[in-house]
Amino acid sequence: MFPEKIEKAFGLHLEAIQLLQNALSTSFIEAYIENVENVLDEYQVRVQNDQPDEVTTKQIEGLYEALQEQALEPEEIRKLSQLLLLKGSKTEQLQPNHQLTPDGIGFLFVYLIEQLFAKEETLSLFDPAVGMGNLILTALTNLTLAKRVVKGFGVDIDETLLAVAAADAQWTQSDLTLYHQDALQDLLVDPVDVVLSDLPVGYYPNDEQAQSFLTGVSEGHSYAHHLLIEQGMNYTKENGYGLFLVPSNFLESEQGTQLKQLFTEKVYLQGIIQLPDELFLNKASRKSIILLQKHGEYSKQVPEVLVAKLATLKDPVKITEFFTQFEDWKASNLV
């Protein structure tokens, strides 16, 4: 599935991470960050308070010597990073909202961005729930491969997840600026062309802050994923787009009324792309990508909202059929 050089690099990096994890008595994620920082520091093993010890340091240096013989492109590094983090998540259970966005879904986001914007445009991307950064880095590395000029911005309240995103952004040489804060407070992000996010599903505990959003409810906790959709679109340019991974029942949920108000007053719901059932354990966990467009001089509600269902991400013929469907819809509906 992966080129031999990625498999070889995976084995060497994994051994280095495990050595660091044992020597520093730390988590896999923290050892992963330490390893990437060593690599960025020209493969120098950082020793603090005599840790790692001399024997372990020599072992890691040997692994780094072998790694220096390999040249990986930014997208190969991102894939390697994802493999390592997936391996780590099997040994240390991550909560569902911290899981990496699968590549198959990430590549769909990339395709949609390529379709929505002319190739000559310089693009700015923003993820208000960036986590470990795999989704936005998938977009940045692959759009760069497609000769697009792109820069990204990300926000997350979790310092450890953000440290992974920061390390990987530097490792893949991606133009990604990150902010450690609550994404539902005032942000230092200028309006962007497109906001994209694999949204964490759950409740936002700050009821007072939620009241300032259309999607906030008057009693009880508001859905964080609804608030993040609204906040993301607040930081999108007029006529700009939002691409969000949401529960497939987003309109039928108990707070769907507030979301519909947002779709009436501030943004247009232009498309719903249901992801294959095979990706999810049960009906309740199924997700869709929604395509939103901010109100502006050149945007309007499309005559026909795109409603598409992907049968599978494994069959190239089925994926090509979806691409054709999307391109036909775009030609008939989007200005």
List, as one string, the DSSP characters of 285-327. G-EEEEEEEE--TT----SS-EEEE---SS-HHHHHHHHHHHH
Model-level pTM?
0.94
The fourth-level CATH superfamily of domain 96-333 is: Vaccinia Virus protein VP39 (3.40.50.150)
Report d(CA 327, CA 156) in Å as an integer.
Answer: 33
pLDDT digits (tens, 9 = 90+) for 188-244: 999 999 999 999 999 999 999 999 999 999 889 999 999 999 999 999 999 999 999
Whole-Å CA distances, 58 to 21, 26, 65, 69, 305: 15, 19, 11, 17, 60
Contact 121, 151 (CB under 8 A): no
Tell me the pLDDT tens digit for each residue of 44-65.
999 988 889 999 999 999 999 9
Of 88, 7, 56, the closest CA to residue 38 belongs to 56
d(CA 132, CA 21): 19
pLDDT for 283 equals 81
The CATH number for 4-71, chosen from 3.40.710, 1.10.3470, 1.10.150, 3.10.620, is 1.10.150
**Is pLDDT of 1 > 60?**
no
Q: What is the mean predicted confidence (pLDDT) over 14-32?
A: 94
Residue spans in the chain of domains classed CATH 1.10.150: 4-71
DSSP for 78-125 reads HHHHHHHHHHHHHHSPPPGGGSPPPHHHHHHHHHHHHHHS-TTS-EEE
Structure tokens at 143: 């759009």
Q: Residue 95: what pLDDT?
A: 62
